[in-house]
Structure 1
Amino acid sequence: MSHTDTHLTVVTHPLVQHKLTLMRKSDASTASFRRLLREISLLLAYEVTRDLPVTMTTIDTPMQPMQAPVIEGKKLALISILRAGNGLLDGILELVPSARVGFVGLYRDPETLKPVEYYFKVPGGLDERLTIAVDPMLATGNSSVAAIDMLKKNGAKDIIFLCLLAAPEGVARMKEAHPDVPIVTAALDERLDDHGYIVPGLGDAGDRIFGTK
């Protein structure tokens, strides 16, 4: 099940919430954090692909021909907001292995909290694809807004933002800048701290995925 308003969907499925609780624990190992993130991203992918358009095609079963549904249109595009976004890719690609994949390289300036671009490579034909931008944390929203700006400049029209955790400040920032981009997340946490980290959160997602500090 999910709690949904016009802009934000919080996926409340028990498996999603259970795995997220295990990920939040400060003593979770890098290996278990990665495994749980892959598993939870697959579950979240079910939510973001819920409304993919389908069309009917004729197939032959072992018994007889029939009309059966298949996904319509071009393959969807998964856009990882580096570096932590890569942690969400594996699970989604298990579910949708034919998806095209792109990357937006942004890092947050520790003084200004503003995003700085260092890499951009995305599939062609974004104007004809469902584009799912992935980043585990929606904190200040500055990097997410910048990434969506870049995707729209490259033709993307149908965009969903998928994250593991969101802060109210980030959701508000995204809604202000991109009210046409729905957000899907596993949890809406309390707030940001003075350093722009989500509280209670789970720490720095990139560091926990890659075992860095």
Structure 2
Amino acid sequence: MLEENFQTVSDIAYHIISQKILDGEYPPGMKLSRRKMAEAAGVSVIPVIEALKRLEEDRLVESKPHWGSFVTIPTREKIRESYQLREAIECQSARILAEQMTPDQKLVLMEIATELDTVPYTYETVGDSRQSHLLFHTKLTEFTNNRLLTDTLRKINLFWVLCKAIETTTPIVSYPRYWHRYLVEEIASGDQDRAEIAMRQHVNNSLINLIATKD
């Protein structure tokens, strides 16, 4: 149990810096001074260097030779690339779950889906809605029992949160109110093709709405 909760100094720096990025305290394009990051995290510079490498792997930070590290700016091209990978991962997850999803797993997903489909998406609820959305898609991959799918989606989700964090207005959501429940039902049908088609539509509609905020 102690091993599971153990954190290195680099882990601590990573979590502190990444949270500041995702909260918008460190905005896109901001240069990340190693010395200032060390002060903010309460660690030395070496753990910060290790943390920045991990953040670069997560696509939250970009390194520019001779210039240093900067918070990633989510361009339309980067968003499209991220969603192409998301589509591949989530469509495969849907196909796997169409064959092996248990009644208990469907119940968990349907509970989250119902919340997402029925709670009004407003300025007051946007934070909780995003967390529920992340949980919904995380559970979808976790239930496949494929750790690689789950870990890759985790990194994609970090970039998604970064994109959402810089929106200055509440996004206009035109999704059908049954959107997430429909997806769960299509996966639960046991038909892999139906599950994949529903997921592909789900991901592509999400991309269209996110890209619209960049216009």
Task: Give TM-score, length-normalised by structure 2.
Answer: 0.27
| Structure 1 or 2: more strand by fraction | 1
Q: Which has the higher contact order (CA 8 A, sep 6+)?
A: 2
| Structure 1 or 2: more helix by fraction | 2
| Bigger-Rg structure (1/2) | 2
Task: Give TM-score, length-normalised by structure 1.
Answer: 0.27
